[in-house]
Structure 1
Amino acid sequence: MRGRLNVDVAIIGGGLVGSSAALALRAMGMSVALIDSRYCGAQASGVNYGGVRRQGRPPEQLPLAQRAHAIWPRLKERIGIDGEYLCSGHLKLAANETDMASLEAYAAKVSDYGLDLELIGHNDLRRRFPFLGKNIVGASFCPGDGHANPRLVASGFAAAARRAGAHVLENTPVREITRDGGGFVLEAGDVIDVYTPVVVNSAGAWGDEFAALFGEPVPLTRIYPSMVVTEPLAPVLTVNIGMEGGGVYARQVERGNCIVGGERVQPLADPDFSRPRGETALTMMNRAAALFPGLRHAHVIRSWSGTEGMIADRNPVIGPSSTTPGLIHAFGFSGAGFQIAPGVGEVLAELVRDGRSTTPIGAFSISRFAADARQSIDRTIHGSGAEREPEPQQRGV
């Protein structure tokens, strides 16, 4: 016989977003089921690069990033471990004058957000960061950013939520969701039905599938970033480093290993999974060695990849469903969710309790895709200048 679990909130997806939301909801006194088809934190949240950066994000994400920024130094009091978090600073490099102009424009655009960005020219850059190669034109430095160990942080939030009293259901795929009066019934795994008035869809690269069940298609694609880690080395990189326009990112942990990323790989036959490739690792290390001469003779000891959800505008989906009361979405972080996830968890808890958030999230509404679809239909049928007919009343699924 199947068991029954009644909770105030059911969260689909035990990654860093879902587990931080579960912890925040428990702090508010709500009963929570955190449900994951595998292990909490084992997907993108636990296998990403580990950059804890605000620099380079679209401006609309920065209030959320600032909220999360206040959480990272207090990880130990929140989840019992520091997650190897280091406030090292984040250095974004410009390979040419065009990239430097882009960094300058970004710094001007976000000057009111409290990032304290510092633009650094070629000569000063070489003096302050002598580990860099000679061909860098300049950089933008964000001193308050840093990096952490995603494997420790992602699982740490889930463990803290469990200690706080959340029902953590691992290896329990959600097979079906149905509306039951004013709430939902989740058929979870083979043995339990979860009854709840509120569902949080934080299913990562699979979040679009749950949104589509309620008539909310999202143009999400999957990406498979690849990373490598070197043997322990003497100090080489003192800051978390990225490149304007992408191509390579790198950081060094306290025990000496360097983590390098910047390439993607292809999925396996099962698109839930991918596998790193030797030539990809070699490409990343060659790029890194050209930028950081101290890595020229480093040995790679491990490589890995993960599955993440990508949205073209680089913004996630965060907020209430536009079709279904009681459903809240939080997915599609496009490879940049690690830093903001603890802040997203607090926002989700506020949405459940208060129906609104103290942090602006309007830019992340799922309704932006419905508007895009309507405009596309209008252009196809009537031409770009056509007036739109009145919209039908939306109904819950």
Structure 2
Amino acid sequence: MPGPRVTPVHGDETLPDKVDVVVIGGGIIGTSTALELSEKGLRVALCEKGGIGQEQSSRNWGWVRISRRDPREIPLMAEALRIWPGMNDRTGRELGYKRTGIMFSCRTDEDMARYERWSEHLKPYQLDSRMVSGAEFAEVMPGCEEPVKGGLYTSVDGRAEPQLAAPAIAEAARDRGAAILTETAVRGIETSAGAVSGVVTERGRIGCDAVVLAGGAWSRLFAGNLGIDFPQLKVMNTVLRTEPLEGGPEAAYWTSEYAFRRRKDGGYTIASGSTNVVDIVPDSFRLALRYLPALQHQWRDLNFRVGPRFGQEAGYARKWRNDEASPFEYTRVLDPKPHPRIIKKTLKAAAKYFPVFEKAKIAQTWAGYIDVTPDAVPVISAVDGQPGFFMASGFSGHGFGIGPAAGRLMSELVTGRAPCVDPHHFRFSRFSDGTKLRPDDGF
């Protein structure tokens, strides 16, 4: 089966001649940025090489969580938790958001102690996140037969529907005057007196004063053509969804073996809690030293393989002119095949500890590429040395839930307004200013 069934968004037929900002990428980060900029009164064109939300923005788990975040992301995710509840009314469309809580399981006393240490990061925000056990755990996770000591339960966490969200946000941006351009790859940017003055797309030129690159897994390739070195690699995550299933928990649940959340349609989205596939590609060697600290941190969760992806990426042009077809015009959607062994193993583990899943029927499976930075923290930043060029990428598997707040912060940086949170940790310059780049699990 192909990837998830995403709400279709029909692109505008006509390119605008001139806008204030061009946003490159139609995932949840790009659409959220376009909506925020449009609401601030700017003229916006959102350019997507394929369809809105067709890549990782529709292939993720759909979790909207602050729990177990990298501490550097917590302030921005707290902002996202304030934004999500109003998104249906704001867009005039259904995004499937619901505050249901998320539980992270703890099988040992050591796990309990580690998660309790992590929960200290949320105390300044006065959010309900606490360690639970016994009857309280059973109340939140009915039917669980896993031998646990308890878990970290964050009741303010929740879920939304990835196949609905980015399209709804894009349409809301269009309602506010944004041009939504699908099947419209941006080949490059133009500058005047050293500053951004426009973009060249496969359909023609659009004049602009600023460009926001929100290209997900494609951002490194696009930036590289501009002479900008953005360290970014990909990992592949496999997901399944079930047909509607009665009797399962309402709250989402995570263990290293499996994770699940109920869907708006009554089924469940289920995936391995930790296992990802890493395709060895040419950039794996170019960036190996930068990723070494991250690799030491989580190598047990990564399945490395050499396959067709190496040849595909080796064949990408790394430099092209604005009057030449770009790699983005040859691959409209990254649609990797799901890993059958991971699907089988994950559903078996879920059914072992939650017998309700023994009755689950798989409705669909898919996989998606998560773009990852060396420190697993996104870039939401101006790019030094290129006036008018901004980047919002590298969300490292955390982008869906944080997306609306990331779009808000990006729009504030573009317009020069006071930022909703301190953007220091998200600066692009950290890759060259001597900052030690490593993930922080908050423990």
**Count of equivalent residues:** 371
- Alignment of structure 1 residues 327-342 onto 2, 5 Å: 327-342=389-404
Paired residues of 2:383 and 2:389 also in contact (CA < 8 A): yes
**Per-residue deviation at 1:295?**
0.7
Aligned partner (choices 229, 245, 255) of residue 217 of structure 1:
229
| Partners of 1:323 and 1:291 in 2: CA distance | 53
* Alpha-carbon distance change, 132 to 9 in structure 1, aligned in 2, over 3 angstroms: same
Deviating more after overlay: 152-161 vs 109-118: 109-118
- Residue 251 of structure 1 corresponds to which residue in structure 2? 261
| Partners of 1:215 and 1:113 in 2: CA distance | 40
The answer to whether 1:69 aligns with 2:81 is yes
When normalised by structure 1's length, the TM-score is 0.88
The answer to whether 1:260 aligns with 2:322 is no
- Residue 86 of structure 1 corresponds to which residue in structure 2? 98
- Residue 179 of structure 1 corresponds to which residue in structure 2? 191
* Alpha-carbon distance change, 152 to 3 in structure 1, aligned in 2, over 3 angstroms: closer
- Residue 230 of structure 1 corresponds to which residue in structure 2? 242
Note the residue ranges of structure 1 that are not aligned, 5 or more in a row: 377-397
**Per-residue deviation at 1:176?**
2.2
The answer to whether 1:296 aligns with 2:296 is no
**Per-residue deviation at 1:126?**
2.9
Q: Deviations over 1:25-44 (max 9, x none)?
A: 11111111100110111111
**Per-residue deviation at 1:21?**
1.0
Paired residues of 1:86 and 1:146 also in contact (CA < 8 A): yes
Paired residues of 2:21 and 2:211 also in contact (CA < 8 A): yes
Paired residues of 1:10 and 1:34 also in contact (CA < 8 A): yes
- Residue 70 of structure 2 corresponds to which residue in structure 1? 58
Paired residues of 1:214 and 1:324 also in contact (CA < 8 A): no
| Partners of 2:264 and 2:335 in 1: CA distance | 30
2:363 partner SS = strand
Q: Deviations over 1:2-36 (max 9, x none)?
A: 97721100111111111111111111111111001
Paired residues of 2:134 and 2:150 also in contact (CA < 8 A): yes
2:95 partner SS = coil
The answer to whether 1:141 aligns with 2:169 is no
* Alignment RMSD: 2.1
- Residue 103 of structure 1 corresponds to which residue in structure 2? 115
1:92 partner SS = strand
Amino acid at match of 1:118: R
**Per-residue deviation at 1:228?**
0.4
| Partners of 1:359 and 1:4 in 2: CA distance | 32
Aligned partner (choices 323, 330, 342) of residue 385 of structure 2:
323
The answer to whether 1:130 aligns with 2:142 is yes
**Per-residue deviation at 1:113?**
2.6
**Per-residue deviation at 1:339?**
0.8
1:177 partner SS = strand
Amino acid at match of 2:54: A
